[in-house]
Amino acid sequence: MTTEALTLSAAPARRRHRFRHAIRDVAVLTARNLVHVAREPLRLSDVTIQPVLFTLLFVYVFGAGVVLPHGTYADFAIAGLLAMNLTTSAIGTAVGLSMDLGTGVIDRFRTLPIWKPSVLVGRSLTDLLSAAICAAIVIATGLVVGWRPDASVASTLAGVGLFLLFSYAISWGCACLGLVSQDAESAQGLGLIILFPLAIVSNALVPTARMPALLRTIANWNPVSAVTTAARQLFGNPNPSAAIRAWPMQHPVAASLLWSAAMLAVFAPLASALYRRRTTD
């Protein structure tokens, strides 16, 4: 067997070794992020305390002024509260990355023989776990205030899965914010400026039918509106947006998947490029 043949036969083994090495690096960095959360539980306040407060506030205070033709406001609002909480809590990705860059932790990682993107992937997986906790707390609080899904267990779980996919995609966009921000405070401020209007100018908390024409069009094509409408459809909850002719409102599940895929396709490579630029001497 020639030297060239030996080299070719060894290539798959090297690829498998690199893949296992990358998986190990991601797992170690994800565990490191979870240890930090365990040492500072208040870091999870945006996915534990905030969802409960928002659910109670909007259902009992805001919901008193919203009249729906069918169903209760709690049944209408829980999908929207899931969308709003998961969208706004994604700011934690930007803040966490910015803090790691500011404290020099990333510089120490660079001295180790690790797969470079593992820092970003580990952060995104940690935030996906946080999103799952947030979704569970919103659902539990919703059940307490009277919300009930009127669909099969599989359909309800599919709705929750759409939210988690959407949250994961947004976390990569927030990673980009963290990488272009100079410190954690500016990352948090920039994230709020972008994500809070995204969550509010939607059908998450109120139907869009009575909004001004321009605002209504923006809301109907808002990705938050798409995933909220898809969840209401899958949960079997009141869904006024089903009567709207805009394509995302007529095909909300497809629109949600497309929005999530588009954000991942754009923000994941962009975050990798920004990370390389930020960590290159």
Mean residue pLDDT of the chain comes to 87
What domain count does the chain have?
1
State the Cα–Cα distance between residues 54 and 28, nearest whole angstrom.
Answer: 34
Six-digit token string for 151: 């669909």
Q: Out of 38-47, 75-84, 199-208, 235-244, which region has the weakest mean confidence (pLDDT)?
A: 38-47
In a domain, 65, yes or no: yes
In a domain, 4, yes or no: no
Instruction: Considering only residues 69 and 183, tell me which one the structure prediction assigns the higher pLDDT.
Output: 183
pLDDT of residue 5: 52
In a domain, 5, yes or no: no
CB 94 within 8 A of CB 174: yes
pLDDT band at 6 (very low <50, low <70, confident <90, very high): very low
Identify residue 65 by its one-letter amino acid code. G
Query: Per-residue pLDDT tens for 53-80?
Result: 999 998 988 777 777 777 789 999 999 9
pTM over 0.85: yes
Query: Per-residue pLDDT tens for 122-141?
Result: 888 988 999 999 999 999 99
Structural domain that includes position 236: 12-278
Q: Kindly tell me if the per-residue pLDDT of 28 is higher than 60.
A: yes
Query: Per-residue pLDDT tens for 155-180?
Result: 999 999 999 999 999 999 999 999 99
In a domain, 36, yes or no: yes
CB 178 within 8 A of CB 96: yes
Please list, residue by residue across 174-205, b when 16 or more beta carbons sit within 10 angstroms of its beta carbon and e when fewer do: bbbbbbbbeebebbbebbeeebeebbbbbbbb
Instruction: Considering only residues 17 and 73, tell me which one the structure prediction assigns the higher pLDDT.
Output: 73
In a domain, 2, yes or no: no
In a domain, 89, yes or no: yes
Angle at 137 between CA 141 and CA 154, to 5 degrees: 95
